[in-house]
């Protein structure tokens, strides 16, 4: 039995919506210490920016992420501010 290498990952282009949103979430790495929480929040924010998901105010509560050093309301407000600068 052999172990195969993992499949290669093709990163998003720098100007894609997904990359921009995930980079915004990574800015809050100090406040959202768990990587899986950041990925979950990023995925839901991409859906929001595509017109499918909930707003950041709702997502911060519904994704059940662990937040350190700020309140949920502060995080939602900062995410809203950052998302306004994203080019679709």
Q: Write down the domain spans for the chain.
A: 17-84
Report percent pLDDT > 90 for the chain. 76
pTM score = 0.84
Tens digit of each residue's pLDDT (9 = 90 or more) over 37-79: 999 999 999 999 999 989 999 999 999 999 999 999 999 999 9
Position 87 scores a pLDDT of: 74
Q: Count other C-beta atoms under 10 Å from residue 60's C-beta.
A: 23
Helices (H), the chain: 17-26, 35-49, 56-62, 72-84
Q: Tell me how far apart the alpha carbons of residues 65 and 17 are, in angstroms, rounded to a whole number.
A: 22
């Amino acid at each position: 039995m052999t172990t195969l290498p993992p499949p290669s990952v093709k990163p998003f282009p720098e100007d894609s919506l997904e990359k921009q949103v995930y980079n915004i979430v990574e800015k809050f790495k100090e406040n959202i210490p768990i990587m899986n929480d950041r990925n979950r929040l990023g995925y839901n924010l991409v859906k929001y920016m595509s017109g499918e998901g909930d707003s950041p105010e709702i997502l911060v509560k519904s994704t059940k992420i662990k937040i350190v050093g700020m309140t949920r309301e502060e995080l939602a407000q900062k995410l809203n501010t950052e998302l306004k600068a994203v080019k679709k």
